Amino acid sequence: MRLNLPSPIAYNNRGVARRQSQTPGALTDYDVVLSRDSLAVGETEDVNKVLRHNLESVFYNNQGVARYQAGDFAEALTNYNTAIQLAPNYAIAYYNRGLVYEELQDNQKAISEYNEALKLNPNYAEAYYRRGILRHQLGEADALDDLHQAKDLLVQQGKVDLYQQTVQVIKSID
């Protein structure tokens, strides 16, 4: 007899949904996903190691986002570090780790994380935006280049709210 438990993906998806308004519930769902024997044995037997690691890295990243939103930056960093260890080419985890470093007032580390995210994904508009903001705060000349790159990518990607915000930031700097 096999016990048919809900899939880790279902818990992850519910965690993403709950993260919008119920951070503790989201963390509980991510804990369930990550405690279930590195995903469920029956569901991953036919999945190769790389795919399994990539999926686990998404779970760790999502748990990191929930911890970040709850203000638990140390645990968020731990989750992002694990996500990156499992999937070193996961640009989103580097970006998210940069956000934590910003919260911790370590702007150089944040910029380094955004640089890594942009190496992995040169079309990562949000990473250009955050890096541009930090570079401006540090008085670096490249800040406007980053912000203009972010603006161009955001319009292409249809991300209207951040596009408008970026335009306002550029106007305030010029």
In a domain, 65, yes or no: yes
Give the model confidence (pLDDT) of 19-56 as tens digits: 555 556 655 655 655 555 444 444 444 445 555 668 89
CATH number at residue 6: 1.25.40.10
Give the model confidence (pLDDT) of 56-109 as tens digits: 999 999 999 999 999 999 999 999 999 999 999 999 999 999 999 999 999 999
Give the model confidence (pLDDT) of 128-164 as tens digits: 999 999 999 999 989 999 999 999 999 999 999 999 9
Average pLDDT over residues 2-26: 52
- What is the residue-averaged pLDDT of the chain? 83
CA 105/CA 6 separation, integer angstroms = 40
What's the first-to-final CA gap in the chain, in angstroms?
A: 68
Tell me the torsion sign for CA atoms 53, 131, 128, 159: positive
Element (H, E) at 2: none
Domains identified in the chain, total number: 1
Find all residues with CB under 8 Å of 47, minimum gap 6, and list them.
55
Where helices occur in 36-173 by DSSP H, the ranges are 41-44, 49-69, 73-86, 91-103, 107-120, 125-137, 143-157, 160-173
In a domain, 81, yes or no: yes
